Structures are given as C-alpha cells and as structure tokens.
Chains A and B, each alone.
Chain A
Amino acid sequence: MAGFSFAAWGNDLYTGRRSYPIISKRRRWFGVFALLAVASIAVLGVRGLSLSIDFRGGTEITLANTSTTDQQPAIAAVQAVVPGEQPLVASVGSNGVRIQTNTLTEAQVAEVGQKLADAYHVNPANDMTVSSVGPTWGSSVSVRALWGVIVFVLAAAAFMAIYFRAWRMSLAAIISMLTDLLISAGVYAAVGWEVSPSTIIGFLTILGFSLYDKMVVFDKVRENADGVLDQTRTTYAERANLAVNQTLVRSINTSVVALLPVGGILFVGALLLGAGTLRDLSLSLFVGIFVGAASSLFLATPLDVTLREGEPRIKAHTAKVLAARAGSLDGDDVADSLAAVQLTPGQHLGQGAQPRRKR
C-alpha cells in the first residue's frame, strides 16, 4: 500500500480530484470494443466453436482411477471393436480418461467398455461412466436456451426502460451486453475448448451478470444526472463521466470478488478435473465477468451518452451549457464561472456568488 492508497484513490475519484476522461475519449473505447468484437467474429468464423458430444450426438465413455492416461490403449480398444472409428480421447484430471466416439450400439459399448477396463485396469462397475446422446438432444436444449435468452433480453430491456425512464439507456445496456457475449464466445473459441451445455449455462450467466453490472453503474449515472436539465453548468456527458469515475472502485471490487470464486473453479476445473462441467462453465464465466464489468464502464456508459445526446432535450441542454461556458470564457476564466452560481431554493448563494478578487 506504500505510496498508493486504494481508499484515497477512490476518494479522489469520488470528489473529482482525479478524473479519467472516459466519456470524452469514448471514440477510443468504441474502437477498442469494435476491434475486440471484429476479432471475435474472425476467430469464430475461422476456428469456429467445437461442439461437444451433446450437440453432435455420440457415445462418451469416461474412466476414473485409471492406471495411465495414455490415449493409445483407448484408441486401440475402440478400433478393435469398431474398425475405422476415430475416437476423441482426452485426459480428465490426473487419473481419468474420456473417450468420445460416434454413436455405438449397446453391444459395442459393452465390448469397448470391457476392453477399456482391461486396458486401463479399472473396475467397470464403479469407475466407468457411459453416456450416449441423440443428435437432437443438444440442439433442442440450445433452442430452448435461445428462446430463454430472447425472452430474458426483452423482459430486461423493458424493465430497464421503465426503471430509468429512458429507452436509450436500456438499448445501450443491451447492445453492450451482446458485445460482451460476442467477445466471450470469441475467447472461448480461441481457447478451443468444447462447447458443452455447461458452456451455454456460462454464457447465460454472463448475460445476467453483465446486465446486473450495467444496472449498478447506470443507477449511479441516473442518480448523478437526475437534475441535470435544471442547471446549466454541467452537461449530461460530464455527469455520466463523474458517475463512471465514482463507481470505478465499486466495479473493481465487485469484479474481483466475482472473479475470485470463478477463478477458483477454473483453477480446480482446468488443473484437477480436466474436461467437464466445471471447467467449461468457469472459463466462459471468467472471461464474461471480466468483459462484462469492463464494458459497463467503457462501453455501456459512453454508448448511453452518445445515444442520449441525440435526445432532443439533452441535446438542447448540452448546447446551452457549452454556449454559456464559451460565453463566460470571453470575460472570466472557467474556474470562476464554474464556482459561480448554485441555486438552491431557500438558501443563500454564499461567497461564491460574489465577484472574486484576483489573486
């Protein structure tokens, strides 16, 4: 903590002593996110997502407590029963093996299972898991999930539009949420892990978290911008920028706290468990939470400002403020004009309203 205090930094951000020009530099951030989105589309287009057995259909045999995690015995065992079959073999944790093949018949599964049990010295009764999935199962699940997402997005958009009384805000949140999803999918494709139903769960959670985080940040924007039209000293954009700066500490704390458990799963899942529900879920979540928290600050809010500056009232107000500021610049300096009048009914204007003595 030497030389840098988080609380003091947060304090500076709150009071505006330290302020990062996020909104005024928004073109830069739009560029960054556009670049990431294009890169994600490129990765998705070139590499594509490798779908898991739940979507392709097939048979999966998982062995636990194996004596070795060599892949060769598994391939040999499968090909002895089904010549020409090219099984996908992956190790699961330090002592497990997962074998995926095209759909096998019951008899074939029994035969392969026996051979595998012999090859890996496992007890077929306890340590072997067999699952076979029809080719339509995964797709029917994802179609349902897709419907869920569409309904959820519509419902959340309606909720936010009503809560903030500004459909542009809700639109900005939804656009940046979808960007988060795209980037997460891109990273997932780049890593190259299989897309399983748990990955889908992860992506759905990203939607939830991303909107949640945007909700918190936008609530601060709303709070700051509540009376913006009633005064002529600050613009909507400036107030939004202040809101972003003020929620910066919260956003960092929240994303760290949300990322720590997910990082725990990712660590345990990737290192100890190998392929499986936890690993797939945690990777999509880890990326999604990070991107989601970042985009609340650097994409959603700037986007909201851009959209809302198109709103006639706010457009007129911004023009008025800037004109007033330009006018006062001619005679006085900016600091003085800013320190000038803050009208609160029933309260005196204080010294700030008096002409200042030049130092």
Chain B
Amino acid sequence: MANSSTRRSRPVRTLVIFAVLTVLVPFAGLITGTFVDGRSTENPSGASMTPGLALDLEGGTQIILTPTTTDGSQVTSNTIAEAINVIRQRIDANGVSEAEISSQGGKNIVVGIPGKPSQATIDLVSQAAQMRFRAVLTYAAGTPTPTDTGSPSPAATGTAPTDGASPSVSPAGKSAGVGAVTVPAAASPSPSPSPSPTSTGGTAAASNPSDLAQITPEIQAKFDALDCTNPDNLKGGGGDDPTKPLVACSQDGSAKYILGPVEVEGTHIASASSGLIPLPGGGTSNEWGVSLTLDSVGAKEFAATSQRLYNFGQGNPQNQFAIVLDGLVVEAPSINNVISDGRAQISGNFTQQSAATLANQLSFGALPIQFDVQSQEQVSATLGSQQLERGLLAGIIGLILVVIYSLFQYRTLGLLTVASLVVAGSITYVAIALLSWGMGYRLSLAGVAGLIVAIGFTADSFIVYFERIRDELRNGRTLHFAVQRGWQRARRTIYAAKAVNLISAIILYYLAVGGVQGFAFTLGLTTVIDVMVVVWFTHPIMELLTRVPFFRDGHLASGLNRARLTLSAAKPRYVGAGRVAGPETIAEEAAAEVNAEVEGATPATEPALATASVTSSPLPAPATDESGRRLTIAERRAAERKAAAATDENEEGR
C-alpha cells in the first residue's frame, strides 16, 4: 500500500497497456484465427467470431455414460481416458463428425453428437469394449475376394506396413526370454485365401484353434463377400462368440481375416507400453514397438498359442495372431519366437504414434469395462436456439435496467459503470471465443445464466468503489484525493470479496459436474475479468476524470456533487424559537470520530489539499487546513456553518 501511494500513478499508460493487452491483442488473435484456422463443418474446432455452443443450445444428442468395471476394480482417470479413445474410435468409424467426447468430473464420460444420430450409433457408443487374441486362419485384401484375385497389392495402408521390408528379423533374441512378434506386410497379393474346404461337415471337426477345417463353406462365403471398404463393416461392435471362428475386417479396412476361436482374452493383458525396442545387448534400436505383458493365465495360454503358430513358420498366414478389438482386427503380428513368459515385443513399421495407439488399445483391452447410460438427452435445434435467444433477451433487459439504475444513482458517473460493463463484456466475449477455439470450450445455457448473473457481481465492484469515493467526498476531500483514498480502501474490499467468489468458482468447477461446471467456469472467468477491469480500466478512467472540471468541481449532474454529498449534514436545522440546532448527536460524533480514525489508519501523503479548487468553490469546509493539520471539532463546525450559510445565500440568489 505504501508502495502504491508513493508510486506515481500513470492512468493513461495503464489504460493503453490494458487496452492493448486485453482487448486489441486477443481481438487481433481471434480475427487472425478466423482466417488461418476458421471454423467450418470440416474444422469444427476452428476459430470463429461466434463462440462455440454446447448441445443444449445448438441442438443434438448428449449421452452421459458411467464406466463401471466388471471385476470390481477401481475406475481411474487412465481408464476413462482410454475408454474415451475407444468411444471416439467407434464414433469416427461410424462416420459421425464433430462428436465431442469428454470426461466429466473424473467419473463420467459425456458424448455429444450434433443432430439426431440413429439408435445404432447410440447403442454403439455404450457398448462394452472387448479385446481378444485369435489365431489367424487366413486373410485377404479388404475388398470382396472375387474382385481382388488379380489386383496387385490392394489398398494396404494405415498401421500395417505396406512395403515388405522383411521385418521378420526380430531385434529381440531368445536369450532374454523376451518373445518377439512382428507385424508382417499385410495383404500382399492375396495369400491363397481358399485352402480348399476339405471338411464339409461344419464347425466341429477342428483339432486345434488354428485348424483350417474350421473354415466352412458358409464362413468362406461370408469371407468372400465381406467388403471392408464399406464403412458399415468397420463399425465394429462386440458380441462375437469367443468359441467360434470370426470373419473380421482390419480397423482401417485394408484387409479382412478369418480368425480362429479366442485364444487369450484381453483381460489377461497385464500391461502394454510403447517405446523404442531394446536391443539384446542393451541400448535401444531406433525402431518403435510395443511391449506387452500378460498375466500368468494369459502367459500360459499365449505360450501354447505361440508355440503352435511358430511351428507354421514365417510367411504362412497361420503364423499370425490377430488382436481383435470390438470385432475389428487392430493388428495381426506374426510370431517369430515362442513366447513362454507372457512378455512379447511387437515390432514392425511402427511410428511413434502408431505404437502408442496400439499400446493404448492393448491396455484398454486389459480393462473389463462396461458403460452404463446415465442420461440421454436430445435437444432439437429450434428449442436450443429459442432458449439462447430468450436468454440473451433476458440479459439485455437486465443490462438496460442496470444502466438506468446506475445513471439514476450516479448520474454521469453511471456512464463509467456502463463503459466498464461494456469493456468487461467485450473481454468476456473475446475470452470465450478464444477458449472455444483453443480449448474447445462450449457455451451452455447454464454458462449463459452465469454470465447474466455476473452483470450484478461486476457492477458491484464499481458500486463499492464509487461509494468509497463518495465517503471521502463527504469527509470534505477534493475529488483527486477522494479518488486516491477511496481507491485504496475499496481495493482491499474488492480483492477480498472477489477472492471468495473465485474460491467458490474454482471449487465448484473441480468438484461439480455437468451444468454446474459450465456455470462455475463463466463465474470464475468473469470474476477475474471484473478485477482486471476495475483495476486497469475503471480506476485509471476515474483518475483521469478528476482532471475534468465537470467532475472535479462536482457539477450537479456529475454524481460527485459535494454539495449534495455534504450539505444535508452540515445544514443547520431550524428548531423554532429563533434557535438553530446544529447537527450534533451522540451517534454523529461517534461516527465522525470513527471516520476520522479510519482515515488516520491509512496514512496517505496528502499535500495541501488542492487549495485552488477548494478556495474557488464555496462548498463545505475541508477537514484539514492548509498546513494539513486536522481541524478541531469546533473549528470544523464553525467552518461547516459558514459554508452552509454561504450555500444558502447562493441558493437564494438563484
């Protein structure tokens, strides 16, 4: 405080810096953003001059899911993050754009889908994810088989490496006991997909899960007909029978597989991580891969599987096993070694990202999760826009009433309230537009309500400030010192009170869910903006106003008229019989004393009270004389009476 009173305040500089930093720069950023990264249907997260709207205003479907584990283990934030990945994958595969999936309160997953999605999409979202390992019986390119017989190397893209750069040279040796599996070049020209169905007798005859006898004509026909380039076949979805063979597409649709029965359930995966593959002699290669660890049951099962698959030898389709997530083949690595200890390395043409994705998917497979639908809400676009319109109407009505009231209360000074509100409003608008660009923030109806309520909170800062200035004027100060002192005292109150507001907003944001969160966010945002505006806009402007004669001399319409503020107290009352009663009462004297004491508590260097303006105005006596000494009560009363008499004469003269 001492610091600020000795530092010379430079209102114009503060204003300019404030305007540049909080208004011009963000605005410029936003406008640049709309050109560089404009929002469109393809780029829903881009910048736009209109803030993004939440589903309750824009219309759409919102589904709230709670993941629960089937084995009673804890749902962690990691679980949620992985579950969100899976849901996103499902929705993207389904061709729904602009879906928003987010976690809420660390416990729920909120899926927002614009428009009106089909029931199938909704079911898809809430399905449990199932990861399973199956042996590959055979595979082909992802198009219906008859057409691809002659085609060279059909669309093989995505995670499966396209060039057959013989990745079978496994960097991991047997010595470490670390098994290694390699992702082979997928779908090189059709590896003899039809191992002549010798066993016509149906499914039963299989001697082991890799037995090609499982491929019945029925399955073969299904396989031949399967078109993995059709997005309908890439939706995935669980429900495949773990004991039966499965015909499935790869996730990117580039290949299709006939798979044996489930060998290892995904729940047996203990952990999966991606990284550079370690070399047998220590150190790491520069090749990305995924290491996978199975639990003891899974290790035993996988040891048997890998032994069997290994025996098929490199290059045979049956050498591969498929990692199946939601009925789609994520990856089908071939087995280079017998993996007996449940620790496998998956190598191949991974990039850092694709390795991480696979590791994520594998870890998710380890989570026995299912989703409970908590609520499902469809908002029609017309209803949403209607709510927004009316909400804004309410805000505008409220704002106009606030303007009228503050003009009534504070006269011209009320315009400063209005200007501050406008500044706060535009900063809030830019902040929300920027946040919806940068962070994907969406304005919901509860958020709009928070903004409207914030009008009141924000205006209160100005009221506290103005009332303190008036208090100082009542003490007989000139406007300049009234503003200085009033600010020092108002500032402390404003900071303390806004701190409480901010605490409530932050706590509610982190602890609450749903609409409460959106509300808390706007409340916290406006609180911060409010403090910024009052410190860097309202106060500097007020300091500038003290130099304007209209305000400095307390024009009647300025709201700072010292006559109106002090006259009534100083004005003697005629009590009859030729006697005039002074304003003294016990309470008043006590008040005067406390006020004086409070003033004394904030020692400000107050040089001879701007004598020019005091002497030029016939208005009430200052509480100090020219030398800065505080007047005695008697002196002050005398001065007050004199001043009152002077004003009376003035009024009569008019």
Contact = CB atoms under 8 A, between A and B. Distances in A.
Contact of B500 (A212, A256, A272): A212
A220 B493 contact: yes
* Contact-residue bracket for chain A: 35 or more
Given A197-B515, A208-B500, A285 B632 contact: no
Contacts of B116: 125
A242 interface: yes
Interface stretch (A37-45, A70-78, A83-91, A246-254): A246-254
A334 interface: yes
B564 interface: yes
A153 to B, nearest CB: 9
Given A15-B592, A151-B507, A338 B446 contact: no
A269 B394 contact: yes
B387 interface: yes
A152 B497 contact: no
Interface stretch (B244-252, B277-285, B596-604): B596-604
A128 B186 CA distance: 48
Interface residues of B, number: 105
Given A134-B374, A265-B391, A277 B449 contact: yes
Contacts of B489: 223
A265 B449 contact: yes
Nearest to A289: B456
Contacts of A6: 409
A64 B590 CA distance: 63
Nearest to B471: A14
A5 B66 CA distance: 60
Interface in B556-588: 561, 564-569, 583-588
Contact of B591 (A10, A19, A148, A268): A19
Contacts of A127: 380, 382-383
A227 B630 contact: no
B497 A242 contact: no
Nearest to B489: A223
A126 B378 CA distance: 11
A148 B390 contact: no
B125 interface: no
Main secondary structure of the interface of A (DSSP, over half): helix
Given A15-B591, A17-B583, A334-B586, A126 B380 contact: yes
Given A11-B568, A145-B512, A215-B496, A131 B378 contact: yes
Interface in B341-393: 372-383, 386-387, 390-391, 393
B463 A338 contact: no
Contacts of A282: 394, 449
A260 B456 contact: yes
A303 interface: no
Contact of A16 (B512, B592, B633, B635): B592
A200 B217 CA distance: 62
Main secondary structure of the interface of B (DSSP, over half): helix
Contacts of B633: 339, 350-352
Interface string A141-185: 100110110011001100110010000000000000000000000
B453 A285 contact: yes
Contact of A198 (B390, B449, B460, B523): B449
A155 B445 CA distance: 28
Interface stretch (B9-17, B295-303, B398-406): B398-406
B376 A132 contact: yes
Given A64-B380, A160-B500, A233-B593, A8 B516 contact: no
A219 interface: yes
Nearest to A138: B375
A208 B463 contact: no
A112 interface: no
Given A250-B467, A261-B456, 20 more contacts: A5-B564, A8-B564, A16-B585, A16-B587, A16-B590, A93-B386, A132-B375, A201-B449, A201-B519, A208-B501, A233-B590, A249-B467, A250-B463, A257-B406, A261-B453, A263-B398, A265-B395, A289-B456, A338-B586, A352-B633
9 tightest A-B CB contacts, nearest first: A16-B591, A261-B398, A350-B632, A258-B456, A131-B377, A264-B398, A148-B511, A268-B394, A260-B401
22 contacts: A12-B569, A15-B595, A16-B587, A19-B591, A62-B383, A65-B382, A145-B516, A201-B519, A204-B508, A204-B512, A208-B501, A260-B401, A261-B452, A262-B456, A264-B401, A265-B394, A276-B387, A277-B446, A282-B449, A338-B589, A339-B589, A352-B633
